[in-house]
Amino acid sequence: MRILAALLMTAILYMIFKILKQITKETNISIIIAILIGLLFREIFCIDYNYMCLFLSLIILYLELAVKKKNKSLLIGILAGLAICTKQSIGAIIVIAVLLKPLLEINKKENIKVVMKKIGKRILGITIPCVILLSYLIITKSFNDFIDYAIKGIATFDNKIEYETLLKSNTLEIAILSRIIPITIIATILTSIITKIINIKKPEIQEETREKFTNIQILTLYSLSMLVVIYPIADKIHFSIGITSALVCASYCLFLLGKIGYDKIKYPKKKFYYKTITLIIWLGLLSIISLHGVINIREYINNYRAGKINKEIEHFENIEVPEYLQDRITGIDKYIEEKEKQGITVYILDAESAVYTIPLDKYTKNYDMFLKGNIGKDGEQGQIEKIEKEKNENIIYLVKKDSETLNWQSPTKVITYIKENLRHIGEIEIYDAYMQ
């Protein structure tokens, strides 16, 4: 998982570099911006469907910006279809952007047919991965569960983090960016509308200028499609992912403004100094990142030699698991195994349940990631009804003690029901045990 996460993050940063290199024609500047965006992600790298959608969106964005003569509409459509298969809500917005993009090319009646042909190819491309996924769901008899959890289940997820929390963030860069990005997007939307009107009324406008404004239009369109990631959970992770394309757009706008000033400087060696300074900056950033990498590797080796790296808990081998957590996992798993020998099933109603069930090679539907968004269309009431139906079965429910903090998305109504209606029969580690 960690290797895949590293590969995905590397691919995302590479695509950011490729997009910027394509539109700015400046290698050093493109590397610096890609590294700075990577530093924004430094604490939240993981393998995640939001990141995957971002990666697919960046590939599409690159193809839209880079491909001028060759028609890549079918490929773009397939990538948009994969985004839908990855996460339906974000994917649907990306699809809208993909279908709207050709409409930006309409400037006279003669090219309407060409545009409609492009849209048709994109729709065909979108359909291909969606049909393959639906076929897979039907063959594996998981189509009903897909509808239950991924479509209808959205209505039961009612938790929110308001955008206002970003404005009050203790992380300085998040507090600043949460103010800058909305202003940037509004400015680029207005610029896109104005330039579109100008392009129609003044077709004689210079090709270079036209291309710059077209780039802004495309960047704005795909920036908007990824901003949906921020809703309804406007926390640091979702915000950072959602604004990535907008950061690329803002960087390009700043580059264009900087170039205007740069072009006015009358100094023969300005190009040499510009390239030297930018090269030094990105070499410095890479040196800092490499130094931190060496420090982390050395720390891991020292912990490994000191016996602080887990070697006992299955599937967590060679991972730095704190000693207290190792003891907790061992204790809870032993408890589960002992109860199973007595013919009793143990369910852990907690967002961290999988931490304890993975070493046992177990999977408990609805409970291994006990969050509001993971319990299907019937929501909390559905889980309560399920527990009521299990009255005659030997089941123990583990819920966190009152002194422990719950995940903010935890289905608290279910936990309250268990505490008020079931027998408290003991405790294990951080959990209270309840039985019918």
Question: Each residue of 135-160: pLDDT tens digit?
Answer: 999 999 999 999 998 888 888 877 78
Query: CA end-to-end span of the chain, whole Å?
Result: 38
Q: Which of the four pLDDT bands, split at 50, 70 and 90, describes residue 34?
A: very high
pLDDT at 56: 98
Quick one: CA dihedral 29, 47, 6, 41, positive or negative?
A: positive
pLDDT over 80 at 206, yes or no: no
pLDDT at 218: 94
Q: Which of the four pLDDT bands, split at 50, 70 and 90, describes residue 81?
A: very high
Class of residue 165 by CB neighbours under 10 A (exposed 0-12, middle 13-18, buried 19+) = middle
Q: How far apart are CA 237 and CA 41, in angstroms?
A: 8
Q: Which of the four pLDDT bands, split at 50, 70 and 90, describes residue 304?
A: confident
Q: What is the mean pLDDT of residues 205-221?
A: 86
Q: Per residue in 323-332, pLDDT tens? A: 899 999 999 9
pLDDT at 333: 97
Q: Which residues contact 45 (CB under 8 A, 6 or more apart)?
A: 5, 6, 9
Q: Per residue in 217-240, pLDDT tens? A: 999 999 999 999 998 899 999 999
Partners of 34 in beta bridges: none
The mean predicted confidence, pLDDT, of the chain is 92
Instruction: Give 185-190 contacts, CB < 8 A, sequence gap 24+.
Output: 185/220, 185/223, 185/224, 185/227, 185/246, 185/249, 187/253, 188/216, 188/219, 188/220, 188/223, 188/249, 188/253, 189/220, 189/224
Q: How far apart are CA 57 and CA 45, in angstroms?
A: 18
pLDDT over 70 at 280, yes or no: yes
Cβ–Cβ under 8 Å, residues 36 and 176: no
Amino acid at 232: P
Q: Which residues contact 301 (CB under 8 A, 6 or more apart)?
A: none
Q: What is the mean pLDDT of residues 256-285?
A: 92
Write the CA distances from 378 to 151, 193, 295, integer angstroms: 12, 44, 48
Q: How far apart are CA 333 and CA 343, in angstroms?
A: 15
pLDDT at 43: 86
Q: What is the mean pLDDT of residues 110-115?
A: 81
Q: How far apart are CA 304 and CA 291, in angstroms?
A: 20
Q: Per residue in 239-266, pLDDT tens? A: 999 999 999 999 999 999 999 999 888 8
pLDDT at 68: 67
Provide the 3-class DSSP secondary structure of residue 90.
helix
pLDDT over 90 at 284, yes or no: yes
State both tokens at 425.
């029969």
Q: CA 298, 301, 302, 306: dihedral to nearest 10 degrees?
A: 170
Q: Per residue in 330-387, pLDDT tens? A: 999 999 999 999 999 999 999 999 999 999 999 998 999 899 888 989 999 999 999 9
pLDDT at 109: 62
State both tokens at 435.
């039985």
Q: How far apart are CA 115 and CA 194, in angstroms?
A: 21
pLDDT over 80 at 400, yes or no: yes
Higher-confidence residue: 80 or 377? 80
Q: CA nearest 369: which of 347, 384, 336, 389? A: 347
pLDDT at 53: 97
pTM (2 d.p.): 0.91
Class of residue 77 by CB neighbours under 10 A (exposed 0-12, middle 13-18, buried 19+) = buried
Q: What is the mean pLDDT of residues 19-33?
A: 96
Alpha-helix residue ranges (DSSP H) falling in 87-171: 88-100, 112-139, 143-146, 164-167
**Strands, sheet with 395-400, edge to edge from the N-terminal-most edge strand:** 345-348, 395-400, 431-435, 423-428
pLDDT over 80 at 270, yes or no: yes
Q: How far apart are CA 337 and CA 356, in angstroms?
A: 11
pLDDT at 205: 67
pLDDT at 45: 87
Query: Token pair 């950061």 is at which residue?
Result: 247
Share of the chain above pLDDT 70, in %: 97
Q: What angle do CA 30, 34, 35 make, to 5 degrees?
A: 120
Q: CA 216, 221, 224, 226: dihedral to nearest 10 degrees?
A: -100
pLDDT at 199: 67
Partners of 399 in beta bridges: 432
pLDDT at 215: 93
